[in-house]
Amino acid sequence: MARRVAYLNARLLDPATGLDQPGALLTEDARIADFGPGLFADGAPEDAERVDLAGLCLAPGLVDMRVSVGEPGAEHKETILTASQAAAAGGVTALACLPNSDPPLDSVSSIEFIARRAREVRLVKVFAQAALTRRLEGRELTEMGLLHEAGAVAFTDGIKAVADAKVMQRALSYSTTFDLLIVQHPEEPSLAAGGMMNRGEIATRLGLSGISPLAEVIMIERDLRLVEASGARYHVAHVSTREAVEVIRRAKARGVRVTCDTAPHYFALTETDVGDYRTFAKVSPPLRGEMDRRAIVEGLADGTIDAIASDHSPHDADSKRVPFAAAAFGVIGLETLLPLTLGLVRKRQLPLMTALRALTCRPADLLRLPNHLGRLKRGGAADLVVFDLDRPWVVDAEKFLSKSKNSPFDEMPVAGRAVRTIVDGRTVYMREE
């Protein structure tokens, strides 16, 4: 007999259709059976478990398209289990992990390993982005067709840029055979080499070598020329500069098949948050200036930036509690993705539906995830998040479920929090406090 759960007195939010109304939703095993504002007007079915949400928001589970999980090779920083637990606590029901593991995800067996471990953990859905080049060395292309058949949802060298234009040209050309998504880390390596933070007055004052914003836009402009010639699907990861947003905006207007994402630290922080050598604010690309931050918000508002990803990059204390120049790049973000994005809504910089679209259906569509992920759909996967839109709280990294604690948002007051996370109709996380 099917297990049925009725979620009552919810604020139904579906960014894919613009639905924002009080109502109810019924799950039946792993699927959404029905939902709507008039559902259960005469009472919920007797055979269904009833959950009264008391006006809380009920939306599709978040889809995070950029996560480093550590496993295999760096299990001391994060594992698929701990990343899944952190994701569930943040309202994320599906994530796409990067290939920068050890060994990298550049073979069919490595893609199958990720899928097998996700099935064993049985929390959130974990998809793999495969390496674009063998061993992430930027020289020889991987067997993209075979990796796609094995389940790879995109191809990227992760935290490394594909520097060789000829290699990128071949990758884009080959990807058109299967209409695959190519994801680029937008940083021209020779311009960024040795850089620690954004180039400018603050870097000079701190005595740190800077990374010019030109490193980002030059790489994107080069690739866009190749994309126009090939007709391939091309995605720019974690956009951070005003110039990059403008270049992508113009390319979209010309009909180029380009999309992009950003991460919360690029619209919630600036280079001033590096402060006195705060290694937890050391990221790649680096935190930029205030005008860049504003441009990121504008890009989200007008749709130039398609998605918001956590860019979750866990590091242990030995990698971060060292001198700034020696510290690893990256911050964790799975458990702060939702509240930081909702911060733009509270400031009236972004409509709620636009914010949720960038966290749900848009990344799911970019990765072409199955079973109608990222949206409320009758017959679709019952992957849902219940969240309190206005609940205030203070970030406490020590309480995060992630194995690593390298958050630049520690002790920051925020509002909005996942209360319950549901995957395939099963509650995988419920906040007790």
Residue 188 has φ and ψ, to the nearest 5°, of -65, 115
Kindly state the tokens that stand for 110.
């490595």
What is d(CA 371, CA 157) in angstroms, rounded to the nearest whole number?
27
**CA triple 408-126-7, angle to 5 deg:** 90
Handedness of CA 386, 390, 396, 397 (dihedral sign): positive
- Interatomic CA distance for residues 51 and 41, integer angstroms: 15
Query: Strands 384-394 and 57-60, how do they pair?
Result: antiparallel
- Please name the amino acid found at residue 373: L
Catalytic residues: 311
DSSP letter, residue 281: G
Q: 236 - beta bridge partners?
A: 184, 260
88, β-bridge pairs:
none
How many contiguous H segments (helices) and E segments (strands) does the chain have? 14, 18
